[in-house]
Amino acid sequence: MNKKTQRFKELLSTIFKSHPWHGVPAGPQAPEVVTCYIEIVPPGSVKLELDKATGHLRIDRPQRFSSVSPTLYGFIPQTYCGDGIGKLANQHAKRKITKGDGDPLDICVLTEKEIVQGDLLLSARVIGGLLMVDKGEADDKIIAVLDADITFGHIKSLSEVPPGVIERLKHYFLSYKRPPGQSDNDKLVVYIDEVYGPDRAQQVIRQSMQDYETAFGSEESRLEELRQLLSEGLHENCTSQKPKAGKRKKDEKKSRK
């Protein structure tokens, strides 16, 4: 990033709050340790989701059934589940996947701490993930632990997590869109085709970061484009306000009189 663009970024950060998806980086240690934006905290029974246009957290819907997220839940900034994520998922899924779901990459964060509200950022160490398929689209759920957490912070791989914790996560994702009374023979909306470890999780994160850059451009290119547009706008505004030569001469004669 050149000096002008870097300075422009610094000045923007002193005036405006960064958009949680587009304005916050995934972190200098990504994909091993990532910055996460948390939307939902347990035991909330309301589905909260980032409003992508404004960057504010909004109520998406009250949960119709008794589905409560068992972990902190949100996404990794500057990631996107696009065609690359869809192709990667197709290499491992048990069914045909058409594409990524078009959202930032979701993440579940394990911690022993009680955090009472969402709309916050934290650092988490990636330990694995779930390959979830929702209506034919790849909707991976990365699993991580809160960095320096007393209970979970030492864990490096999903294999070290008590099996019941992973089963609880799988049950939540398989059931929160499934109405009561639906039998096992009924067609499911959501499937989990794979539970994977940290190496695959990091591969998924890298791909989602590439998909993001393909869809939205690099951070540097977007900042430079914005800086140039603002500069051009200011120049045009100054030009339009500048009096014409003939008018300047008349004004000068009036002022001398």
Range of the domain at 165: 17-217
11 located within any domain: no
Does 247 lie in the same domain as 122? no
Cβ neighbours of 27 (radius 10 Å): 18
Does 222 lie in the same domain as 98? no
Does 252 lie in the same domain as 148? no
Whole-structure pTM value? 0.87
Q: Report the distance separating Cα 10 and Cα 94, nearest Å.
A: 46
| Helix, strand, or coil (residue 135) | coil
| Helix, strand, or coil (residue 10) | helix
Question: pLDDT digit of tens for each residue in the chain (257 aa)?
Answer: 888 888 888 888 999 999 999 999 999 999 999 999 999 999 877 888 999 999 999 998 776 666 788 999 999 999 999 999 999 999 999 999 989 999 999 999 999 999 999 999 999 999 999 999 999 999 999 999 999 999 999 999 999 999 999 999 999 998 877 665 555 555 678 999 999 999 999 999 999 999 999 999 998 899 888 888 888 876 677 767 666 555 555 555 555 55
